[in-house]
Structure 1
Amino acid sequence: MTRQPAPMRARKRFGQNFLTDDSVIERIAGAIAPREGERLIEIGPGQGALTEALLAAHGALDVIELDRDLIPGLRARFFNYPDLRIIEGDALAFDFAALRGDGPALRVVGNLPYNISTPLIFHLLAAGDAIRDMHFMLQKEVVARLAAEPGSGDWGRLSVMTRYYCDVISLFDVPPSAFVPQPKVDSAVVRLVPRRGDRLHAHDEQRLSDLVRRAFAQRRKTLRNNLRGVIDAAELEALGIDPGRRPETLGVAAYVAIANHLHEAAS
């Protein structure tokens, strides 16, 4: 069932696929379950399918839209919602900590195109305490990487760094038929909840990020090979890590231990 307006022609450079299935829209809004007093931010509202459901449930919302041609339609569709603020801009360059200000931590939602999903997630993770939680529709394979466990083929840099900051809950799959135009892949909805005081702590998070990038640069090679020039085999063994292991076999704690060892050695 759909009752959304006929979508405009999607722009390939923005990776647009407009969500039109009401049952999926209602399920996403139900998973977010906004409450009075919360600060909701939608990235890439498109023609406002999810926007309408969130406004109906919450009444106040900020949306960030890069495609300026969509903004007049959003203003016309939601002219009677005084608590909707439409921000024209690029979420990848947006200062979410400044947007929060002194208010409550942000609840961020969006149907993200594949070409920006990974860099945008990293950008939001860097906002730290400004983010309360995130609900995203992504390609199903990206959600699989986010929700992967060590030792699986999907475990990689995105998995490690996201799990360092967040708890990850894969919620449900969404078929191509829920969109116009239909994408060639399945999608899925994921919830990311930043950890606060109970998470592992890297002394230098940039060092951790650089280490994980280096470790996964060539997945089929061992840590000994991928981390050559960064840490030697004897140091890995002293940390209780076999240098002959492959990067996908290590969990977050092991990468944090290596990063902290390197930080201390450099101090």
Structure 2
Amino acid sequence: MKNFLYKNFKIKKELGQNFLIDYNVKNNIINYINLKENDTIFEIGPGFGHLTEFLFKHVKKLSVIEIDDKLTYFLKKKFFNKRINIFNKNVLKFNFFKYNTSNNLIRIVGNLPYNISVPIIFHCLSFIKIIKDIHFMVQYEVGNKISAPVNNKFYSKLSIFVQYYFLVKKIFKIDSKSFYPSPKVKSYFIKLIPRKKNIYKKININNFKYIVSTAFQQRRKILKNSLSKIFSENTLINLGINPFLRAQNLTILEYCVLTENFSK
């Protein structure tokens, strides 16, 4: 089956094409997502439609977004006359508002190309108001970073930016042998749930990103040094922030406190 599909297809490394081929992994994904018949599903990067076949069996409304022209042509033949909308588009330019023709919140699923997994996650932020949840396969390191808690070695500005908007859950690891061609690293299957009622303070997000980015530019330095151009040591103390901590020791809420003060 695998040889037949890939015999005449040239893998495009620049598109990060690593196709999920493990039946058990696909089955585990479907079981975990717990699809309902009336769910509105968008799949990113369906490839040859291996996971698409599983999704299609459970829902009435399924749309897939594939940038590769040849794969799009293949999918249209494979799913001819089926209830699937197939978009030959770059997901980073895809407007989920425009193509969500239902009144439902959408559920997004995808085996993401490693080279653009983070940009895709941030692109989804623009549509967070209509997203119910997101289930992605991402590079092992990315999964660790976006889910890392404070004081963890993987805790970074990426952790903070993503967790400000989403509750992040790492579901299970996926071995590299579950893909073709096999990548050099393992993957994580993760779930992102939008924080509809954000537990964090409403702040100027640009200022928030600026402060967090500045702190992590020199993450080995203590805050009174890494943030010296923005806050004095006394200001940090008055805000209840220990100036001798480092960037990875501050919670998201504490970064919100800094941002609120900076905005004033």
Instruction: Mark yes or no: TM-score above 0.5.
Output: yes
Unaligned segments of structure 2, at least 5 residues: none
- Counterpart CA distance in 2 for 1:230 and 1:94 is 37
Deviations 1:154-203 (A, max 9, x none): 00011111111111111111111111111110111001101112521332
> 5 Å matches for 1:103-142?
103-142=103-142
Q: 1:94/1:3 Cα in 2 relative to 1: closer, same or farther (>3 Å)?
A: same
- Counterpart CA distance in 2 for 1:178 and 1:57 is 23
- Counterpart CA distance in 2 for 1:214 and 1:49 is 42
- Counterpart CA distance in 2 for 1:37 and 1:255 is 39
Q: Name the structure 2 match of 1:62.
A: 63
Using the size of structure 2 for normalisation, the TM-score is 0.93
- Counterpart CA distance in 1 for 2:40 and 2:127 is 15
- Counterpart CA distance in 1 for 2:52 and 2:210 is 37
* Number of corresponding residues: 262
Asked whether the 8 Å contact 2:156–2:248 carries over to 1, the reply is: yes
> 5 Å matches for 1:201-220?
201-220=201-220
Q: Name the structure 1 match of 2:39.
A: 38
- Secondary structure in 1 matching 2:199: coil
- Counterpart CA distance in 2 for 1:80 and 1:100 is 20
Asked whether the 8 Å contact 1:202–1:259 carries over to 2, the reply is: no
- Counterpart CA distance in 1 for 2:198 and 2:121 is 21
Partner AA of 1:6 in structure 2:
L
- Secondary structure in 1 matching 2:5: coil
Partner AA of 2:77 in structure 1:
A
Q: CA RMSD in A?
A: 1.8
Q: Percent identity?
A: 35
Offset, 1:101 = 6.2
Asked whether the 8 Å contact 1:165–1:199 carries over to 2, the reply is: no
- Counterpart CA distance in 2 for 1:5 and 1:147 is 38
Q: 1:99/1:181 Cα in 2 relative to 1: closer, same or farther (>3 Å)?
A: same
Asked whether the 8 Å contact 1:10–1:18 carries over to 2, the reply is: no
Asked whether the 8 Å contact 1:64–1:89 carries over to 2, the reply is: yes
- Counterpart CA distance in 2 for 1:91 and 1:42 is 10
Unaligned segments of structure 1, at least 5 residues: none
Deviations 1:67-115 (A, max 9, x none): 112101000111131x211111111122223333672221111001111
Q: Name the structure 1 match of 2:53.
A: 52
- Secondary structure in 2 matching 1:216: helix
Using the size of structure 1 for normalisation, the TM-score is 0.92
Partner AA of 2:226 in structure 1:
N
Asked whether the 8 Å contact 2:165–2:198 carries over to 1, the reply is: no
- Counterpart CA distance in 2 for 1:124 and 1:4 is 34
Q: Which moved more, 1:235-244 or 1:177-186?
A: 235-244
> 5 Å matches for 1:191-206?
191-206=191-206
